[in-house]
Structure 1
């Protein structure tokens, strides 16, 4: 009966200490920890001191067979420490601390054995903790291994090195203390399971909080880096636009002079030039005009990208559009022996409210490309009311289509041609010339006019480019 009374007193004291510690941990230590008032290295040391104190208390109320022999549950704090301390070395510290506290009851052979026993148990728990941290086993499996291993080694040490003769211990004490110690260790561990789970949840929340802080810091750094890159891109775009504007101005002035002088010389030759020299003057003028168009394209593209392109809406006569385009491109089409046809839907309104300059610029680009990439057949320009299948918004829309029987574009490369300085392949620019800016500028201008530009094409069977514009005054300024 004294064994039962002693162990029940021990377990009651340990439960009381655990309950008090749980209250202090939840309502004081966690809040203090959140405020970072206790240094990181002090916290496990303070917790180890509490465990050593718990082991010492069990000895105070332990069973004294003789003056120097004490039976108690001093090993239980080590078992619980297996699931509390992250760093296994603290278990050795606790075992040694509890063992040394045995000397507070006087120096004796039993005290030396007790100190040795708890030190060995501390080393065992350290090894078990290391293995448990690398194991995927459940909490209860680890708990069972820990309780059995510690209680069994404790019994073996007492039987081999204890002051009570081994035979007497194994026959009279072990059959009672071992199963009772096992049962009470399980009971205490079960009671502390809530504390263990609370500790695990707290550790997980702390780890998650720390990860979130790191991620927030990384996101802030990434945001600042992106903002810096954005500022650099804006500055680079501004510098590029300014450079292109200045370059275009510097190039356009001499180009205008070259074009005008070549035209003037050709018009006033009065028999001074031979046919070959007149042809050379014509080449000079046409080359200068081509270069001037490319310079204007570069300038327009830079203005669109910088957001400096201004749109001026006005009422434009729809009937005049095909007449102007016919006059501009008929000669070129005849030279290539291509039939140029203009179709206008008679049900169209008389006027369309848009920017006439930019509308003609888009249509000129489309017709110029159609004639350039068509070697035989026809190029058809038509204006009609857009069908329901082509409308992206409500209201009346007008479609301006350019169809040709030229080289066509394979489907995989149809998006590519709308990018600046890009054509279907390098041989296209070498064979037909051009910088590949016309469609890119036309696409952006179509958006500024409140419309869109579409493409339908098959390689070797021609292409159809269609500009859709609202019939009203829905223009993005």
Structure 2
């Protein structure tokens, strides 16, 4: 086999090694660290030089003619560290010694060390130059081929004149041409790999965009579901409200008609009873209207808070007067407890605090049966109960029907109750807790709920002392 055939064999081996490198990177080194990938690539390039020598053309005096300098050219174009390129050149020179330590091997070591240093300098020039990469690579290939021919002619064991006249005319042009061919093949291979990486990146980007669109779709579907539920709840609210408004209004109209049609002989006691019922119905009707107005003001941001110094003693006294009679009528024990370390006054809105507590107590009495218990406790909390700061806590507890765990958030939404049907047992519009929650926020506090179905409920209103 001649020199040209051997060079073609070297080119085929280099292409095979490049393909092997791609397989190893894709299936073995893809998930390893960058340092390991870097070291492995250096070893692989040195191995490429050894392969060229293994399948090189052996002359007399142990001289091996091959394309071992081609991997060094590729390294000069590919790597960014000049020291790495010199190490590759020196490494290829050292593996020449594996075929025997002799004068030809020592000359080959010197040659590759010199070419490694030159390629390192060419790498520095390429990184600083602004000309196109194809021109940089062409100049590098030309310089390395010329220098390789001169080094072998000067340092090699074959006489200078004999090498330049007999071997150089064959090895020089063949090596230069095959170097360009391999560089073009490798360049095309790299471009294909780049396209694959870009396609993979585009696919990953499209996958992420698809996932984001899917999440947005789910959010829109959830929002549409919430809007549908809100529409349903408001429809139920309107039906409930018409029922709640109709009851006291019918009482007022019917009793007013009875009074109008009553004879002079009617007993005065009946008139007082009718008047009491009319008054109670009117109060219920007024409370419903006030709840609707308060909710509208809160949602519009127009509800005013009138803060002032208020005595904590006045609140339980007022609530006791309002609910004591109801407790006695239903046969419910009503306790009011006050801690001893309470401040004399706090700065807040008295009317809104009483409105919140009235809503909480009304619910407790409504859902507590005969022989039950309703308790209002007023205490001080300083960074306790998982809440930091100084707070006055108004706790309303009862032994009523309790609230299921999955309804704890629901009952604080407007127009919603644990049971939303018109014919529910206990009545109500579902506005009280929603208004109470919003009022608590406007007062700088919040409401907490602890309840289990069948075990009663505990609503705690937290208001800041300062």
The alignment's TM-score, normalised by the length of structure 2, stands at 0.48
The alignment's TM-score, normalised by the length of structure 1, stands at 0.47
